Amino acid sequence: MKFVDEFRAQKTARNLAAAIADNVRPDHSYNLMEFCGGHTHAIFRYGVQDLMPDNIRFVHGPGCPVCVLPVGRIDMAVQLAQNTEVILCSYGDMLRVPGSNQISLLKEKAAGADVRMVYSTRDALKIAKQNPHRQVVFFAIGFETTTPPSAVAIKQASAQELKNFSVFCNHVLTPAAIQNILESPEVRELGTISIDGFFGPAHVSSIIGSRPYEYFAAEFQRPVVIAGFEPLDIMQAALMLIRQLNEGRFEVENEYTRAVTRDGNRKAQRLVSEVFEIHNEFEWRGLGLVPYSALTIRAEYSAFDAEKKFSLSNSSGKPVKGCLCPSILRGANNPIDCKLFGKVCTPENPMGSCMVSSEGACAAYWTYGRFRQPGSAKDQAVA
């Protein structure tokens, strides 16, 4: 596939690995957080970690919208699905995340609720038109990448006066979460999480541009390199981060220039700001209440706001005992530190959100790294 295969070339990967090895200083350690789940998966799937020198450590971030949605919001979606008037539509991953008492939307579907998996907001609109006597609710989740399609759907529903369509909005914002991590006591005071630099999001940045990261690169003195999701993109970005750290720079650089500009996609940004406004605070699994970190539907489109339409009240939710998802999402723990990992919690029967999503860190460890003995994969890669 064009624009994919050439960014996976094995020979170039070897050469980039050699360039990285030449550039790292043996007396330095490089703790690089990849914010996005897309990066985490590429790192594991292509064995990027095994090509890195020992003093480069990837710290997995909270950039998986399915993972960071707290149990309470899933309970609210379950509550919506239990309403017999409602057809609840959502992206696939969301259906399997367990809410309180292990109740997921998929279990509700098995119990008779009308829950439908859709690929696009366009499909949800279609279902609303086909079912004029039912209420169709789109359970919207996602970062800045996935928000513009929800904005388009609401604008279209409004233009077409589609009275049986609404959106349960759970769109969250990336820069607020990165700032929250950098301001956390674990990073600032306790030093239990070391983060020296960031791989900036790929497709989030294609919408918001590289400009929003400039503030915290300067404020928190951490370099950010926006990287594509292919393995060579990540390796090139790692090299750029290492060079910045060696030279004592903390700038925003862009490796993914084929899809990301400094200003981003202005048309999409405009559409989002027409339909949504910033929420004062929103709860994230792992990060707690993060100020100005989510979007809510503007008053003029409130007829399409499922929370208002169905008078949903916030649920606090009961997290699963022993599940380490919250601290894994902060970068404080690895999936293998969790007692549930690979035992009671597997992708077939997930206990926590990080095992459900195809972008979650636990799912990545399970799928690509579960059987790996320390050192062995690296030895094989070199051989």
Separation of CA 265 from chain center: 19
Distance, in Å, from the CA atom of 383 to the CA atom of 257, rounded to the nearest integer, reads 34
Distance, in Å, from the CA atom of 121 to the CA atom of 358, rounded to the nearest integer, reads 20
Q: Mapping DSSP to helix (H, G, I), strand (E, B) and coil, where does residue 284 land?
A: strand
CB of 259 or CB of 278, closer to another protein: 259
Distance, in Å, from the CA atom of 77 to the CA atom of 100, rounded to the nearest integer, reads 12
Please name which of 255, 248, 253, 243 lies closest in space to residue 24, comparing C-alpha atoms. 243
Closest contact distance (angstroms) between CB of 301 and another protein is: 16
Please name which of 41, 12, 3 lies closest in space to residue 358, comparing C-alpha atoms. 41
Closest contact distance (angstroms) between CB of 236 and another protein is: 6
Closest contact distance (angstroms) between CB of 381 and another protein is: 16
Q: Mapping DSSP to helix (H, G, I), strand (E, B) and coil, where does residue 125 land?
A: helix
Do the Cβ atoms of 69 and 283 come closer than 8 Å? no
Distance, in Å, from the CA atom of 128 to the CA atom of 204, rounded to the nearest integer, reads 28
The tokens for 184 are 């956390």
Closest contact distance (angstroms) between CB of 142 and another protein is: 5
Closest contact distance (angstroms) between CB of 302 and another protein is: 22
Distance, in Å, from the CA atom of 204 to the CA atom of 207, rounded to the nearest integer, reads 6
Closest contact distance (angstroms) between CB of 174 and another protein is: 9
The letter for the amino acid at 291 is P
Distance, in Å, from the CA atom of 338 to the CA atom of 186, rounded to the nearest integer, reads 19
Closest contact distance (angstroms) between CB of 155 and another protein is: 9
CB of 120 or CB of 314, closer to another protein: 120
Which residues are at the interface with another protein (CB under 8 A)? 1-4, 6-7, 9, 11-12, 14-16, 18-19, 22, 36-38, 63-66, 91, 93, 119-123, 141-143, 145-146, 148-149, 152, 201-204, 206-207, 229, 232-233, 236, 239, 255-259, 265, 267-268, 271, 357, 359
CB of 1 or CB of 299, closer to another protein: 1
Please name which of 330, 321, 315 lies closest in space to residue 351, comparing C-alpha atoms. 321
Q: Which residues lie closer than 8 Å to 309 by C-beta, 6 or more apart?
A: 135, 166, 303
CB of 119 or CB of 371, closer to another protein: 119
CB of 98 or CB of 142, closer to another protein: 142
- Beta strand spans in 16-67 (E): 30-36, 56-63
CB of 40 or CB of 296, closer to another protein: 40
CB of 193 or CB of 204, closer to another protein: 204
CB of 152 or CB of 187, closer to another protein: 152
Closest contact distance (angstroms) between CB of 188 and another protein is: 28
Which residues share a beta bridge with 169? Answer: 140
Closest contact distance (angstroms) between CB of 65 and another protein is: 5
Q: Mapping DSSP to helix (H, G, I), strand (E, B) and coil, where does residue 79 land?
A: helix
CB of 7 or CB of 310, closer to another protein: 7
